[in-house]
């Protein structure tokens, strides 16, 4: 039995993956985390609240307040603030950004963490397919609205939570909103590929704008297969998640790469990269396609009615 236990423990350690070792403090710094009321977002907020001021940006205020008060009690940091943000509604995104910019003079880290997965076919308030609308377009608009404040606060970091699922994605420009054909698993993969391409193009554009490379970075990551509420729309996935929970990361383990990308000193001047288990990871060929990245950028601007040069 002891060898079985040892095997179990080493498997568990393998599943757990990398850990963020950085002890960097974020005193006087401001972090926004979207979707931080549950799962890896909540664990990311818990870690960063031990370092600095955290704004928890969520759709469900009651759930967010419960998470924030738990984090405040545990970390002793009263600077864990809840703000309403519904990424499925551009009006809500604009209101959030407007209030934030009026109240906060600085923003050092933006973690685009919130996401939906395996939704039955539905559309956002603006008529975007739900996965694309929340996971990509919502965060694209949020980043656009907060960009100047991030630039003024440099050094600053943008962290986009993508997924290994980007390997199964493609950007279907002829049917972006899945009106011709829709598969909820693939729709999730497409949106996660969009996260990788957005990060790549954003990093490329920011490099030209800043005098020092280190001032401003944008990176994407795969958190790992995490035991979280993200699969709530699929009975089969919930069932599989329960059976194979031993092979899944805990939300704390899943948050490690997000924290790493947000604070690790060795990433000060690293931008446009993709990480998993706190180290650089392989990006699919589609995720490295600069032409698609540029086209997705301009189509996203068109859909959102913004000019972002």
The pLDDT tens digits for 258-268 are 999 999 999 99
pLDDT digits (tens, 9 = 90+) for 222-266: 998 765 555 455 555 555 545 555 557 788 998 999 999 999 999
Q: Cα 120 from chain centroid?
A: 21
188 is catalytic: yes
Give the burial class of 120: count Cβ atoms within 10 A of its Cβ; 0-12 exposed, 13-18 middle, 19 or more buried.
Answer: exposed
- Residue 69 burial (CB count, 10 A): 12
Residue 160: left (phi > 0), alpha (psi -120 to 50), or beta? beta
CATH architecture of 23-303: 3-Layer(aba) Sandwich (3.40)
Q: Which phi and psi (to 5°) does residue 113 adopt?
A: -105, -35
What is the pTM assigned to this prediction?
0.91
> Residues 45, 54: contact at Cβ < 8 Å?
yes
Domain ranges of the chain: 23-303
pLDDT digits (tens, 9 = 90+) for 189-230: 999 999 999 999 999 999 866 545 458 999 999 998 765 555
Q: Which residues contact 241 (CB under 8 A, 6 or more apart)?
A: 227, 231, 248
121, 182, 188, 282: which one is catalytic?
Answer: 188
What is the SS3 assignment for 162? coil
User: How many alpha carbons lie under 13 Å from residue 199 in its C-beta half-sphere?
Assistant: 34
Q: How far apart are CA 139 and CA 133, in angstroms?
A: 9
């Amino acid at each position: 039995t002891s060898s079985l236990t040892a095997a179990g423990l080493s498997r568990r350690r393998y599943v757990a993956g990398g850990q963020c070792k950085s002890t960097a403090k974020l005193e006087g710094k401001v972090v926004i985390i979207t979707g931080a009321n549950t799962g890896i977002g909540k664990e990311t907020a818990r870690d960063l609240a031990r370092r600095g001021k955290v704004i928890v940006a969520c759709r469900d205020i009651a759930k967010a307040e419960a998470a924030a008060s738990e984090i405040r009690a545990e970390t002793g940091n009263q600077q864990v603030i809840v703000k309403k943000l519904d990424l499925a509604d551009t009006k809500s995104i604009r209101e959030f950004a407007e209030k934030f910019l009026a109240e906060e003079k600085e923003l050092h880290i933006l973690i685009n963490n919130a996401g939906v997965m395996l939704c039955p076919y539905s559309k956002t308030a603006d008529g975007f397919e739900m996965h694309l609308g929340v996971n990509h377009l919502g965060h694209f608009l949020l980043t656009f609205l907060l960009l100047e404040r991030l630039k003024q606060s440099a050094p600053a970091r943008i962290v986009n939570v993508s997924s290994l699922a980007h390997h199964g994605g493609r950007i279907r420009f002829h049917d972006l909103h899945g009106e011709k054909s829709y598969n909820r698993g693939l729709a999730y993969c497409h949106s996660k590929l969009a996260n990788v391409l957005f990060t790549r193009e954003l990093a490329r554009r920011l490099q030209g704008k800043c005098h020092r490379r280190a001032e401003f970075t944008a990176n994407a990551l795969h958190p790992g297969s995490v035991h979280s509420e993200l699969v709530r729309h699929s009975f089969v996935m919930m069932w599989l998640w329960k059976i194979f929970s031993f092979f899944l990361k805990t939300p704390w383990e899943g948050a490690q790469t997000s924290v790493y990308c947000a604070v690790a000193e060795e990433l000060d001047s690293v931008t446009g990269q993709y990480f998993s288990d706190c180290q650089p990871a392989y990006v699919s060929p589609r995720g490295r396609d600069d032409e698609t990245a540029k086209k997705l950028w301009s189509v996203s601007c068109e859909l959102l009615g913004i000019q972002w040069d």
